[in-house]
Structure 1
Amino acid sequence: MQNLAPIALFVYNRPQHTERTIKFLKQNNLAKESKLFIFSDGAKSKSEEENVAEVRAIINNVEGFKSVKVIERKENAGLANAVIEGVTKLINDYDQVIVFEDDLITSPHTLAYFNDALNRYRKEEKVMHIGAYMYPLKTDDLPQLFFYRAATSWGWATWGRAWKNFEPNIDTLIKQFDKKKKSLFSIEGKMNFWKQMLEFKKGKNNSWAIRWYASIFLKAGLTLNPSQSLVNNIGHDGTGVHSGINDIYNVIINPKPITDFPEIIEEDKKAYQTIKSFLTTRKGNMATRIKRFVREKLSQYFSK
């Protein structure tokens, strides 16, 4: 397979997560032939400096890829700015990119999946994003891969032709939504995507991912996704920027290579319904929700 996409890995202050992420990435079949670019954000405060230094000691000794380039920042840009800048840089140089953060473990076939998909749908304007994560859907009647509207941010890839549609300005995005679009965007109100948009505007989150999904949605774009996840997020232990401690999104990684790519470029209706019903019931009944809430609060209290 020619024309392998460069890998962007964004790291910050979690040495153990970073080490595991790299370990699994290195076990990918295409690791040795892939260029790896590691973007290391600067410390936010004095107290972060030690962890950032520890992360940098790890990333400056990475082997097992075609090449490894480490880009260290003196100041703290924050995850969103770091991702947007790093992705834009690699898109400008290579016209395609595979993106990971420091809390994702991959299947040995994840890089092959991304590169196959990038090559296969390179000229399909409608396909704008390739995702590697999928919710733990309780079903075995979905195809190996399907198209869907929303973009997942735990391991993804895209091309220059799609990334040029990324609109970072939240006001420009928000004013293009009417009532019907809001409903379609938020999977008929089953996922808090619209709420995330409004919270971004209020400064309550700094998500690049919600703006990227909105940019794709407003262009009527599609995202490619596996029905069984090719990554798992290990950041739900309270150490992440946006992750609470919860196990709703924990998945078993698909150990098999991906071979069946969809020919028809349209949203898979069955997959949409399956995801919608997962989102409807994902938080469980009231007793389960209360238990989880108490557990999260206690762990926050004890980790202080």
Structure 2
Amino acid sequence: MQSFAPIALFVYNRPKHTERTLKFLRQNELAAESRLFIFSDGPKTAAEEENVLEVRELLKHIEGFKSVEIIERKENMGLAESVIAGVSRLVRDYKQVIVFEDDLVSSPYTLNYFNDALDRYRGEEKVMHIGAYMYPFKENTLPESFFYRAATSWGWATWDRAWQHFEPNIDTLIAQFDGKKRADFSIDHKMNFWKQMTDFKKGKNNSWAIRWYASIFLKGGLTLNPGHSLVNNIGHDGTGVHSGINDIYNVIINPKPVSVFPDEIVENTEAYQTIRGFLSTRKGTLWERVRRYVIESGIFGRGKNK
């Protein structure tokens, strides 16, 4: 009998986002057979305490899963430490994990996709990560699922055998890159992955995700991805840790299950070129960029409240 992977859900101070994430997760076909572990980070400041408590109140009434365990942190660990600790705990206990944050809406088949892929590639050392998000391509001719080098962090899964290669030390990671590796890592310099690495070193971000991708990349690992996204991020409204208000990455979730998985464990060249093309034009024309900057900065009274 198949044992389904536990779900780690990381929440903080956004009750409305958390509620939506849980609502869609509960509508998954395999929700009732899945164990849910919710990691609730402690407030950074007294001002954030009310929202953290509101989220925790909401968590007391969750139904629809095989079991629910809530881990409340007294202190604020921050997202990166919280994710690293939570994932490490679950892969130790269950040998596999599915990871969600509090701003993701999912398809009813997202858990099926994760569990099918976890089972299928369990013994394949080269497959290190399963992602559920895919970019909104104008013309999408990609297969139902494919292998690619980069790891997406909006809904993902992995095994203990892969997670043991996670290297949290940024200096250890950076030391292993030369010019060619930097170009390969950053999709031919079309995505700011290398900048995320150097920004982390400078203390400008605290990303677990960029260190996880670097760990996979340096091991020669691959990630499995769906041709059409199985999740959408609803955190791009200015409330997230690393999100701006934009809709570049907004997707329509695939309403159908993924039933075709690649047999050959190599990066899909067509997928790489499609993603590279999307990344090189994703910000649009100069005029579109200026317009988005104006909206995001609230120059004309719209956008984030400062």
- TM-score after normalising by structure 1: 0.99
The residue correspondences of 1:74-113 to structure 2 (distance < 5 A) are 74-113=74-113
The CA RMSD over aligned residues, in Å, is 0.9
The DSSP-based 3-state class of the residue aligned with 2:16 is helix
Deviation at 1:61, TM superposition (A): 1.2
Once the two structures are TM-superposed, the CA of residue 139 in structure 1 deviates from its matched residue by 2.5
Contact 1:147/1:267, CA 8 A, preserved across alignment: yes
| Residue of structure 1 equivalent to 2:275 | 275
Structure 1 gaps, min length 5: none
Letter in 2 for 1:79: L
Structure 2 Cα separation of the partners of residues 6 and 89 of structure 1: 11
Contact 2:238 2:304 in 1 (8 A): no
Q: Secondary structure at the match of 1:86?
A: helix
1:302 deviates by: 5.2
Name 1:303's counterpart in structure 2: 305
Partner of 1:45: 45
Letter in 1 for 2:177: F
**d(CA) in 1 for partners of 2:303 and 2:260?**
46
Query: 1:266 aligns to what?
Result: 266
2-structure distance, mates of 1:113, 1:301: 36
Matched-pair identity in %: 72
Quick check: 1:6 aligned with 2:6?
Answer: yes
CA shift for structure 1 position 18: 0.1
Relative distance call for 1:174 and 1:18 in structure 2 (3 A) is same
Aligned ranges 1:57-136 → 2 under 5 Å: 57-136=57-136
CA distance in 1, matches of 2:167, 2:302: 34
Q: Distance in 2 between matches of 1:130 and 1:139?
A: 23
One-letter amino acid matched to 1:264: E
Segments of structure 2 that go 5 or more residues without pairing to the other structure are none
CA distance in 2, matches of 1:109, 1:23: 14
Q: Which secondary structure state, in structure 2, belongs to the residue aligned with residue 39 of structure 1?
A: strand
| Equivalent residue, structure 2, for 1:54 | 54
**1:49, 1:300 → 2: CA distance?**
27
Structure-2 residue corresponding to 1:145? 145
Shift of 1:165: 0.2
Asked if structure 1 preserves the Cα contact closer than 8 Å seen for 2:128 and 2:216, the reply is yes
Output the amino acid matched with 2:170: I
Secondary structure of 2:80's partner? helix
1:233 maps to which residue? 233
What is the letter of the counterpart of residue 61 of structure 1?
H
- Runs (4+) off by over 3 Å: 299-302
Instruction: Give the distance between the partners of 1:236 and 1:257, measured in 2 at CA.
Output: 26
- Residue 17 of structure 1 aligns with an amino acid whose one-letter code is H
Query: How many angstroms apart in 2 are the aligned matches of 1:3 and 1:227?
Result: 26
Q: Which residue of 2 aligns with 1:161?
A: 161
Q: Tell me which residue corresponds to 1:208.
A: 208
Q: Is 1:137–1:227's contact at 8 Å kept on the other side of the alignment?
A: no
